[in-house]
Structure 1
């Protein structure tokens, strides 16, 4: 009989406040494993550029902290794969001391990234062969413009299982595809013993069994750690899998934890504050409206359009007058969103505006989670170049009544394509996802051009603070 133990995390999203406890839990289990061997895995979205230190270091701080936890393998989530540019992801794992399992993401020429393993094979101390396959979400609309080729789950699994035939005793999936797709895998590939999943932020306290296959997931942000017991017989066959989840809040804290956590924030803040962006005039002082308007100018300039839409809930803080740094932008716009250029017939643009107006009062205070949003409420919708007369249900573009047959180009965000409130965008919009810059980078570059830094302004700003 062989006993194995798998510790796992998913969707940490740079919530460094839990890292000290998780690190100590991993260390304690390794010191007293109560099993023949311990493995540690992460199922993706371990980084999130809404944390200042992740943003300032392009995820390298995350890699250093993951190294301290001694993971045996990780996979890549959409936050690593899409919120980062192609170039940033290419160098993300340069200093990683753990392998990356990722079967379904390729370069545009269908070669495999140098840091990605199509599968991993582990042999335990007692000779059990464990095959590990990693999967990222199949999002061609966003992976494609970021110069990646993402393969379907079926084609990937058929290929990997063909290559792995006869090479393993236990098959483990490390997936960032969400619970529904994990269930699909369990149904269509019953040879899978265990799925360590993520992406949909589901908490499965005791796991979920489908036929022969167990599925596990620990929710989000490191609020829980997964701890799985496996038992195998002398023929290396899995006889028992017992998944559990441990609340991080139940783990003992140490006096040094708070200083460590605040240190990550302060280091990120200092690095980003050193990167000056622009010097804004007085009209921006504590005025969210002004921030929204200039940001619509920024995304329409970036997309090459006359029209734009943005919601006020994106702006967690307004811009300030005077010197603005990357830290100010990161605090105002932490969302890993990309600009989209949407081509719409006039009749469809009219319908989109009607959808916005129909939902306006509901969305003003609607608490929103997910789909790249890092704020609290959706907020007020704003237009650039568009006016609406709801009494007569007439939409004006650049001062003229909309032509139902003309094609219009609108700058918006991938967020608006994904949320369910504006179906016209997703259904009939010809949507071009613009990479690599994401929202705050687009806004920052525009501010730098329109309100450039001038000699002496930095010194004056320091004296006034």
Structure 2
């Protein structure tokens, strides 16, 4: 008989407010002498640039803190792989203390990223061989423009499994592909013993058994920690008992609050050192002014003369005077990229009608996911587009839309992903423009339009 204790996290998203508690829990559990081995895994999306410290350090603060959790291995999520520019991901793991397993991502020349490996084989003290295979969500639409080649899950599994055949006794997948795809993996690859998953933010309190394969996931933001008991005989799994521990139930110490505040303060301090622009009085606490200049910014970036943005993106208005990177990060924390969409006039008309049809519904609609870090979707605003709603007429730059002409419109990947405007996703020729985020595009435009002169520095 052999026993393992497997601890796991997923989708921490830089929610550092839980890190002190999680750190103490993991440290105590990792010292458990009642089992033969303790392993600790993370299933990706551990960083989120909506936190000032993650943004200011390009994720290096996350790596430093994750190292303190003493992970056995981890994989990446879309927040690491897509929300970071290629150059940032190339160096994100320069100082990581544990292996990153990731079988389905390659450089453009098809070489393996220097910081990743297809799989890892561990050997327990009693000689059990454990194969760890990492997978992340396969989004070619966004990985491609970011200069990565993402591989489909079936192709990857069909390549890796023959390579490791005969090399393992226990097969564990560390995945950031979501519960639906984890179930697909379990149904199609029953040789898997355990899937430590993430991405879809599902809380599976006591695991889910699919086709003899256990699937686990701890929800999001570090609200729970996974803690799995595994029993083996003759090096093969006989029993798996998954459970999740609420972070709220973990012990709190007096200094936790000051440590958590310190992460915020340090990020703010670094970002405030970077001055972006000197804005005139008209911007002071005026969200409309922020929206209009941002419409100009994304249109300029995408080289279009029409654009759309929603008011819910703007958590704060801009202020007059010196605008810092911290101000921009607080106003537009979303890891979104600009999209240049080409639409035939008849399809652009349909997109505008979709916007108008949903306008009142979206104004107060609470939204989660799709890279959104705000609360409600809000109102849609146009640049270069006017609508005569009663007569269902649309004008582009003062002229009635030509149904046979092709138009280019600047928007966000967010609008391609949300279900409210299907025209964009179905018939739009969408070019995802990397690497700048929305706030970086807006910041660059403001710095050109309202530069900081030597006198005001």
Q: TM-score normalized by structure 2?
A: 1.00
How much has 1:31 moved relative to structure 2?
2.1
Please give the secondary structure, in 2, of the residue aligned with 1:209.
Answer: strand
Unaligned runs of 5+ in 1: 459-465
How much has 1:455 moved relative to structure 2?
1.6
Question: Distance in 2 between the 1:50 and 1:264 partners?
Answer: 13
Higher deviation after alignment, 32-41 or 146-155: 32-41
Q: What residue in structure 2 maps to residue 462 of structure 1? A: none
The count of corresponding residues between Structure 1 and Structure 2 is 457
Q: What residue in structure 1 maps to residue 48 of structure 2? A: 48
Please give the secondary structure, in 2, of the residue aligned with 1:63.
Answer: helix
Question: Distance in 2 between the 1:13 and 1:191 partners?
Answer: 31
Higher deviation after alignment, 24-33 or 324-333: 24-33
How much has 1:34 moved relative to structure 2?
2.5
Aligned pairs for 1:316-465 (under 5 A) are: 316-458=315-457
Q: Is the 8 A contact 2:313 2:374 kept in 1?
A: yes
Q: What residue in structure 2 maps to residue 240 of structure 1? A: 239
Q: Is the 8 A contact 1:314 1:378 kept in 2?
A: yes
Q: Is the 8 A contact 1:50 1:335 kept in 2?
A: yes
Please give the secondary structure, in 1, of the residue aligned with 2:242.
Answer: strand
Question: Distance in 1 between the 2:114 and 2:54 partners?
Answer: 22
Please give the secondary structure, in 2, of the residue aligned with 1:69.
Answer: coil
How much has 1:50 moved relative to structure 2?
0.1
Q: Is the 8 A contact 2:359 2:380 kept in 1?
A: yes
How much has 1:224 moved relative to structure 2?
0.0
Question: Distance in 1 between the 2:231 and 2:32 partners?
Answer: 17
Q: What residue in structure 2 maps to residue 144 of structure 1? A: 144
Question: Distance in 1 between the 2:227 and 2:255 partners?
Answer: 25
Q: What residue in structure 2 maps to residue 251 of structure 1? A: 250
Q: What residue in structure 1 maps to residue 114 of structure 2? A: 114
How much has 1:456 moved relative to structure 2?
2.6
Are 1:286 and 2:285 matched, yes or no? yes
Question: Distance in 1 between the 2:328 and 2:162 partners?
Answer: 48
Question: Distance in 1 between the 2:443 and 2:123 partners?
Answer: 49
Please give the secondary structure, in 2, of the residue aligned with 1:240.
Answer: strand
Q: Is the 8 A contact 1:5 1:33 kept in 2?
A: no
Question: Distance in 2 between the 1:151 and 1:311 partners?
Answer: 33
Question: Distance in 1 between the 2:165 and 2:99 partners?
Answer: 22
Question: Distance in 2 between the 1:312 and 1:33 partners?
Answer: 54
Are 1:185 and 2:224 matched, yes or no? no
How much has 1:33 moved relative to structure 2?
4.2
Please give the secondary structure, in 1, of the residue aligned with 2:243.
Answer: strand
Q: What residue in structure 1 maps to residue 38 of structure 2? A: 38
Are 1:176 and 2:191 matched, yes or no? no
Q: What residue in structure 2 maps to residue 13 of structure 1? A: 13
RMSD: 0.5
Runs of 4+ in 1 over 6 A off after TM superposition: none
Q: Is the 8 A contact 2:32 2:38 kept in 1?
A: no
Please give the secondary structure, in 1, of the residue aligned with 2:390.
Answer: coil
How much has 1:257 moved relative to structure 2?
0.4
How much has 1:211 moved relative to structure 2?
1.9
